[in-house]
Amino acid sequence: MSVENRQKRLQSFGIDCTCHLCKSQLAETDTETDKQRRAILDTAPNIDDIPGNPVKAAIEIDQLCTRVESTYADPPTIRPRFSYMDKLSALSLCCTMMGSRKKLLETSLRGLSIMGFEAQVDKSGHLQILRHGHCGRYVLSVAVMQASWLTHEELMSEAASWKALARKSLDILDGHWSFHTKPLTMEPMHPIDLSDSD
């Protein structure tokens, strides 16, 4: 929800929100910084071009995301980076096509970080969430992609921690993960089953 819509909704209840997030987002609305971000994002490779050269696309997208990140003043815990999360999803797709498990993991952790999470993978390969951030559809896509890869590699124990994050995202988005009726998959990934991660 845009800051403007959020402000209008709150004002309908008589609330004039002046929290740090609202003030920060209002200050950046339709500014040169916002235009600069859109201009940078417009240079991203087209998703249809990725299969032709995923290595080149990965380099370009990685550099683009770093440039966009440099335009933010507030940390992701204050202002999640919705503007380029889809680009990180495209970078994850590149990593999958290249068969780079390590780069996919780094990109997944980066995706969580820009949503305000503090997360790491321990020595045994399990995801550890130290602080939760904005948990929504982008976080769901990160968790599904990692869980799918790990499940395909038969690393079930490691996949379980990412499945748990996917379930938490679904709880937030749909009320409870069991209400979600669409298959959890992203091409070229394999579907994942959440029922075994209770």
Domain boundaries, the chain: 1-30, 31-197
Whose structure tokens read 């298959």? 183
CA angle 95, 130, 173 (to 5 degrees): 70
Pick the CATH number of 31-197 from 1.25.40, 2.40.50, 1.25.10, 2.60.40: 1.25.40
What's the pLDDT score for residue 110?
A: 96
What distance in Å separates the CA atoms of residue 80 and residue 115, rounded to the nearest whole number? 5
Which two three-digit tokens encode residue 106?
């780094």
Q: Which of 33, 97, 28 is nearest to 61 (CA)?
A: 97
pLDDT at res. 82: 86
Tens digit of each residue's pLDDT (9 = 90 or more) over 114-158: 999 999 998 888 999 999 998 878 888 888 888 888 888 888 889
* pLDDT average, residue stretch 100-119: 94
